Amino acid sequence: MISEERIKSLNNKKILNNPYVVYWMQSSQRTEYNHALEYAIVQANNLKKPLIVYFGLADNFPEANERHYYFMLEGLREVKTELSKRNIKMLIRKISPEKGALEISSLAALMVVDRGYLTIERKWRDFLSNNAKCSVVQVETNVIVPIEEVSSKEEYSAATIRSKISKKLEYYTLPLNERKCNECSTNLNIPFQEYDIDDIDKAICKLKIDRTVKKVSYYKGGTSNAKLLLEEFILNKLSYYSERKNDPGEDYSSNLSPYLHFGQISPLYIYRRLIEVYIEDKKDFLEELIIRRELSINFVYYNDKYNSYEAIPSWAKKTLEKHLSDEREFIYSLEELEQGKTHDLYWNAAQKEIVLTGKMHGYMRMYWGKKILEWSKTPEEAFNRAIYLNNKYLIDGRDPNGFAGVAWCFGKHDRPWKERAVFGTVRYMNAKGLKRKFNMEKYLEKVLSIS
């Protein structure tokens, strides 16, 4: 079922008598549980036209590097294969996505787009809807509950958004059925040059991208790999998740965040798979999958300063600036942080983890951000450093969760705590707390074993 609330016309143009329906796939890089794809199939069948799925591959996406591109291309190669099984052609072009979308719209009776929330993603869709001659329809599919259906404003915290989402869950968590295309498009000759991604190493070499951060072998892109991780999580981790999720020495996370970032797996699919499982203690994981994740999306959608220090709440900025002149026991350069050369073995291990694997344990990610605040000359400098490192090394960087996570370290979506030096009333974390709660030697050994 595709609820009407997920569907939004982006312009007042008409459906034209052009040969194709085109789905511009950008943020939802999957063929399963993709409302935008299913909507496009319905429209193509109603209009008795072939469906083409277009993807624009830009080699200048802000802060993206070889690590991000490789993971994404692994997923896109699988998407192309799965679409061909459903008689749908996928056209991948090496072009700025919005420009390629506008060019192919000249052949489209109707353009369907999925929804993104970052500033660049919204600008791309605005460009298409303002310049295309045909109707452009956006279908929201990367959240459980559509963003405006939850709230018309930026929410203060998880507490304020939780009840708003919970009231609508039943309506928005119905299953989504796959449809077949009546008209085959796989053998069409379309007058645009395709970009071959069958050999990813070869495809990567042709892109003018940052190559300083290499691909990782720990996580391979694609829906099939995401589903394998999900099944492993359900079978071996879910029963113990609430008890052990915060322990850095253990591995009880789902590891699905990179796949959610690229839209390679649907949060709705994950939710429906979880409710099929007879395990009572699913509350904490669903809180993170739905409430926390969609709070982050609410943040970047309603706050256009989400990637800057200006996004920090006024109470946090006030208290941090009050303590601006406090003596800092340690101050490190960005280079020292990037290379993990601090006095703190736990922090160094966390930094090594993201450099080598492209991911970091969730609890250590909070500690990591708090220490950057403590070891920088100013809170604003610290914020910019955390964003830089987060986006450069993490496969799920440049993501609403990442921006909200960094901002949380500076007081966003949190409350004032006991006042102390440097932090003021912003929540504080220290190494003693880690040692008291967890076997941190086990975490150090785990990271040390990474080659």
Cα dihedral 222→227→232→235 (10° resolution): 180
Residue 115 lies in a domain: yes
- Mean of the per-residue pLDDT values for the chain? 96
**In which order are the strands placed within the sheet that holds 135-139?**
7-9, 135-139, 108-114, 20-24, 51-56, 89-93
Asked if residue 199 is part of any domain, the answer here is no
Domain with 84 in it: what CATH number?
3.40.50.620
- Quick one: tokens of 190? 């379309």
341 located within any domain: yes
What's the pLDDT band for 69 if we cut at 50, 70, 90? very high
Model confidence at 413: pLDDT above 90 = yes
CATH of the domain at 337: 1.10.579.10
The Cα 350–Cα 338 span in angstroms is 11
- The Cα–Cα gap between 20 and 105 comes to 9
What is the band of 189 on the pLDDT scale with cuts at 50, 70, 90?
confident
> Are 262 and 331 within one domain?
no
The string of pLDDT tens digits covering residues 205-258 is: 999 999 999 999 999 999 999 999 999 999 999 999 999 999 999 999 999 999
124 and 266 both lie in a single domain: no
Q: What is the mean pLDDT of residues 377-388?
A: 98
Taking the C-alpha atoms of residue 65 and residue 68, their distance in angstroms, rounded to an integer, is: 6
Selection from 134, 126, 175, 167 nearest residue 150 by Cα: 167
Share above pLDDT 90 across residues of the chain, in percent, rounded to a whole number: 96
Token pair, residue 406, equals 């960094």
Residue 415's pLDDT is what? 97
What digits encode the pLDDT tens for the residues 274-307? 999 877 789 999 999 999 999 999 999 999 999 9
pLDDT at 174 over 80: yes
Does 205 map to a domain?
no
Q: How many CB atoms lie within 10 A of CB 303?
A: 18
90 has pLDDT over 80 = yes
Query: What is the average per-residue pLDDT within 134-162?
Result: 98
Is residue 193 a part of any domain in this protein? no
pLDDT at 291: 98
Residues 325 and 358 in one domain: yes
pLDDT band for position 183 (cuts 50, 70, 90)? very high
pLDDT in tens, 433-445: 999 999 999 999 9
- Predicted confidence band of residue 421 (pLDDT cuts 50, 70, 90): very high
Total residue count of the chain as it appears in this document:
451
Regarding whether 31 and 9 lie in a shared domain, the answer is yes
CA dist 73 and 58 (Å) reads 12
SS (H, E, C) the chain: CCCHHHEEECCCCCCCCCCEEEEECCCCCCCCCCHHHHHHHHHHHHHCCCEEEEEECCCCCCCCEHHHHHHHHHHHHHHHHHHHHCCCEEEEECCCHHHHHHHHHHHEEEEEEECCCCHHHHHHHHHHHHHCCCEEEEECCCCCCCHHHHCCCCCCCHHHHHHHHHCCHHHHCCCCCCCCCCCCCCCCCCCCCCCCCCCHHHHHHCCCCECCCCCCCCCCCCHHHHHHHHHHHHHHCHHHHHHHCCCCCCCCCCCCHHHHHCCCCCHHHHHHHHHCCCCCCCHHHHHHHHHHHHHHHHHHHHCCCCCCHHHCCHHHHHHHHHCCCCCCCCCCCHHHHHCCCCCCHHHHHHHHHHHHHCCCCHHHHHHHHHHHHHCCCCHHHHHHHHHHHHHHHCCCCCCHHHHHHHHHHCCCCCCCCCCECCCECCCCCCHHHHHHHCCHHHHHHHHHCCC
- The verdict on 128 and 152 lying in the same domain is no
In a domain, 342, yes or no: yes
Q: What is the CATH number of the domain that holds 246?
A: 1.25.40.80
Structure tokens at 273: 């798979």
Beta bridge partners of 291: none
Structural domains counted in the chain: 3
pLDDT score of 311: 97
Is this prediction's pTM over 0.95? yes
Q: Say if 185 falls within a structural domain.
A: no
Which residues form the domain of 147?
A: 143-176+223-302
147 and 131 together in one domain:
no
Interval 19-48 mean pLDDT: 98
349 shares a domain with 427: yes
- Residue at 353 is within a domain: yes
Domain termination residue (choose one: 142, 167, 199): 142
Q: What is the pLDDT of residue 1?
A: 74
Domain identity same for 76 and 102: yes
Tell me: do 247 and 276 sit in the same domain: yes
Torsion from C-alpha of 86, 88, 93, 95, nearest 10 degrees? -110
Tens digit of each residue's pLDDT (9 = 90 or more) over 93-130: 999 999 999 999 999 999 999 999 999 999 999 999 99
pLDDT interval class at 370 (50, 70, 90): very high
Both 155 and 122 in one domain: the answer is no
- Comparing 72-76, 279-283, 369-373, 387-391, the range with the smallest average pLDDT is 279-283
> What's the mean pLDDT in 335-363?
97
Q: Does residue 249 share a domain with residue 113?
A: no
What does the block give as tokens for 300? 């970047």
Residue 154 confidence class, pLDDT cut points 50, 70, 90 = very high
Q: Which residues sit opposite 420 in a β-bridge? A: 424
Domain match, 241 and 323 both: no
pLDDT digits (tens, 9 = 90+) for 246-259: 999 999 999 999 99
Q: How far apart are CA 406 and CA 370, in angstroms?
A: 9
Alpha-carbon gap, residue 446 to 19, rounded angstroms: 56
What is the C-alpha separation between 90 and 51, in angstroms, rounded? 9
Q: Which of 274, 302, 330 is the last residue of a domain?
A: 302
